[in-house]
Chain A
Amino acid sequence: MMFRKIVLAVALILGFSVMASSQEVSVKSFELNETDMTAKVQPVHDLNGDACALVKVAVASKRVQFKGTIVGIPEYIAGIWYVYLPEKTPRLTISVDGYLPLVYEFEEELEGKRAYDLVLHTPVLHSDYVKAMLMGTMSLGASQNSYGVALGFIRRNGGFIRLKSDFNDMEPAYFCDAQGVVSGSTEKLWFTGEHITKRWAITGCYVQNVKKAFHLYFGGGWGERVLGWHTADGKIAKVESSSFKGIELEAGMLIRSEALAFSVGVQSNSFRYMEVNFSFGIVF
């Protein structure tokens, strides 16, 4: 129940922060271009046969959508969108990818066969800045947990280094199998029934943006996971069938807003020991 509440809270925080991270396009200038004869030389007519006004929209993006009473399909020519509108059209809605839609009310009445220049200003998206990312990590294994930090950078794509451990250490005196038999012999050890684990890993991951706030990450590194059993003579036996040291691989998904980041993924040591990683942190 508690876990569900935490997940819900994280989802709400991320949702609000993603919404808050969208930015607005503004109008830099709008004016009649007396010298532009395009709408007069190559007139486009509306359903009533009246000649349209041409609004030339200058915006630094090809990913733009226009909504309103538009005649024909807007064309992108040499960095400028050509949009034909019936005369006296009051407004035009412009959606630039990554920004909030702009509803522009024309300051003057549009006239047919006239050309107008509309220059838009698109502020630099927050995602265009390189930012640092710091996340706390909790790793859940089937039989043990570990904790760590992930530090990295993110722009549109990014990367991070993750360090984690269960903060245990041990010096095994014996090595045995899952039945408690000493490796290389037939002698069976005596145990107290208690166990100890040791886990550490260092990994580096590449973060690839997939869509808006959604990213995938994958990477590798080096690490160790040891299962030890306390023996009757006060020592520790390393259970070799459940202990691994070698290459770490991890992959998962990361949702990043302007100020927060959340990720979930899986991590494996030598493809034999698996953990689920949950990370939550800040982007600054």
Chain B
Amino acid sequence: MKHILKFILASVLLLAVSASCQKDPVVSDNRPELMLMPTENLGKTSITLRAGVTFVDLSSVRSYGFILGSDSNLETNQMTVTVDQIRNGVYYADVVGLEPGRTYFYAAFVTNGVQTVRSEVRAFTTLVPAQN
């Protein structure tokens, strides 16, 4: 009986020790950081949008670009502009076909095919045509 008891106690202790060794895998913050940069070439129907991005893991990126919309939540009349090139962590997109004198909202985005991360939302207003 004493041997059985010792065996059980030893087993319990062994399991307790093994339990304390199996730690969960650690997750790190690998989010891309997006930062909108000042726009360029604001015209009546076009604009150049610019954004800076810092990737922790560039290989996970599938596409990036800008989302435009006519409301601050970018839900109405949404338009997506995908960018092909990125240089020194900065990418830009020439957006055309806009209406003069209208306010648009936009944000930079990056996606890995499953998730999409957005920057803050900003606004711009296209120029109004000169009156004759």
Query: Which residues in A have some Cβ–Cβ distance to B below 8 Å?
Result: 140-144, 174, 178, 180, 182, 185, 187-195, 197, 210, 216, 227, 229, 231-233, 239, 241-242, 251-253, 264-266, 268, 273-276
Residues 1-25 of chain B: 1 if any A CB is under 8 Å from the residue's CB, otherwise 0?
1000100110110011011111111
Whether the pair B60, A190 counts as a contact (CB closer than 8 A) is yes
Whether the pair B27, A180 counts as a contact (CB closer than 8 A) is yes
Can you list 11 pairs linking A and B with CB atoms under 8 Å apart? Answer: A180-B30, A182-B114, A187-B112, A188-B57, A191-B28, A191-B29, A231-B115, A233-B117, A253-B9, A274-B16, A275-B19
Whether the pair B112, A242 counts as a contact (CB closer than 8 A) is no
| B129 in the interface (beta carbon within 8 A) | no
Tell me, rounded to whole Å, the shortest Cβ–Cβ distance linking A28 to chain B: 34
Q: Within the complex, which residue of A140, A142, A193 is in contact with B23, where a contact is CB–CB below 8 Å?
A: A142
Whether the pair A227, B24 counts as a contact (CB closer than 8 A) is yes
User: In the complex, A79 Cα to B62 Cα: how many Å?
Assistant: 89
Residue in B closest to A141 when the chains form the complex, CB atoms: B19
16 more A-B contacts (CB under 8 A) besides A210-B1, A276-B20?
A174-B114, A178-B25, A185-B114, A188-B57, A190-B32, A191-B29, A227-B24, A229-B27, A232-B31, A232-B32, A233-B115, A242-B24, A253-B9, A253-B12, A266-B16, A276-B16
Tell me, rounded to whole Å, the shortest Cβ–Cβ distance linking A274 to chain B: 3
Most B CB atoms within 10 A — which of A174, A190, A231?
Answer: A190
User: In the complex, A191 Cα to B16 Cα: how many Å?
Assistant: 31
Whether the pair B112, A188 counts as a contact (CB closer than 8 A) is yes
- Chain A neighbourhood of B60, CB < 8 A: 187-188, 190
| B38 in the interface (beta carbon within 8 A) | no
Whether the pair B27, A191 counts as a contact (CB closer than 8 A) is yes
The SS class assigned to the A binding surface is strand
**Given A174-B114, A182-B114, also A190-B31 (CB < 8 A):** yes
| B97 in the interface (beta carbon within 8 A) | no
Instruction: Enumerate B88-132 residues with CB–CB distance to A below 8 Å.
Output: 112-117
- Chain A neighbourhood of B113, CB < 8 A: 187
- Chain A neighbourhood of B25, CB < 8 A: 178, 239, 241-242
Residue in B closest to A241 when the chains form the complex, CB atoms: B25
**Given A180-B27, A274-B15, A276-B16, also A189-B21 (CB < 8 A):** no
- Chain A neighbourhood of B28, CB < 8 A: 191, 193
Whether the pair A274, B22 counts as a contact (CB closer than 8 A) is yes
Q: Within the complex, which residue of A144, A174, A190, A266 is in contact with B12, where a contact is CB–CB below 8 Å?
A: A266
**Given A187-B113, A188-B60, also A142-B30 (CB < 8 A):** no
Whether the pair A190, B19 counts as a contact (CB closer than 8 A) is no
- Chain B neighbourhood of A189, CB < 8 A: 112, 114-115
**Given A178-B25, A191-B31, A242-B24, also A276-B19 (CB < 8 A):** yes
Whether the pair B12, A251 counts as a contact (CB closer than 8 A) is yes
Tell me, rounded to whole Å, the shortest Cβ–Cβ distance linking B57 to chain A: 7
Residue in B closest to A182 when the chains form the complex, CB atoms: B114
Tell me, rounded to whole Å, the shortest Cβ–Cβ distance linking A184 to chain B: 11
Residue in A closest to B14 when the chains form the complex, CB atoms: A266
**Given A142-B20, A195-B24, A266-B19, also A190-B5 (CB < 8 A):** no
